[in-house]
Structure 1
């Protein structure tokens, strides 16, 4: 199962993303709002592994997940495939890229790490909807076209997600 390290958004950014989830849901489209588990929150995935050992957990706890720069969610981003994913792009900053490099270093050598999460290949984003067919994708993009082009806030915390245990917990420092 998947183990991930994520950035959780501040209350204002979280609310802005949840508004977009709700718009999609109300239109009968796929939406992250359909996932009603307590662990479901808007986030930026920093790294993924198949397992996270004690050494990596300690290294992740030492990461500083905060940044003096604002966290900016930019325009819509589509990850195409048999079905598509619609996300908000996250505008990379020096601070965000440093957090990502620190997490990548903490997870180094662990199994199950997709190459798309490595520095230089990572596309920071916040997912709005998954598994959209072509018609749903067009409808979602049209529906979201009138939303603000940018949402600005801060990082609330770093978080670990353990899919095996279906649990999350805060990690590292932000201040």
Structure 2
């Protein structure tokens, strides 16, 4: 087992001044670290018996497909604007350093389905809260949210409806 904290780089003043960006690239570069994160997520996720794993654009995709493949279930994409075809539900949300929009296709058959959301990091909770709202509008039920990194000092989990599990936490 590796110490996953050794596989996260802290980049000061990125993407804007005053933000310390937590870069997970070293986790992705190291098979053992990536496998450890995947196994952690899979062990938690299987307890919730989800129908789908939904990755949030874009780093959430890196983990959502690994989890869904391991569990033998499908994976969904929650994307930024102009990245999905067809009829969409869109919602704008605020980030710790600005605002953005997420979209989900209305054609996905998620009505009454149990969904687990996956992203790389939880800061203020705006992104995951937006994804929860999108899934709910499409008729699905978010039963859990998974993140690699949680920034505890921002208290983002307090803004979520679903329970949150994180692999790494920073005060």
Q: TM exceeds 0.5? A: no
Q: Which of the pair is proportionally richer in strand?
A: 2
TM-score (norm: length of structure 2): 0.29
More relative contact order in 1 or in 2 (CA 8 Å, sep 6+)? 1
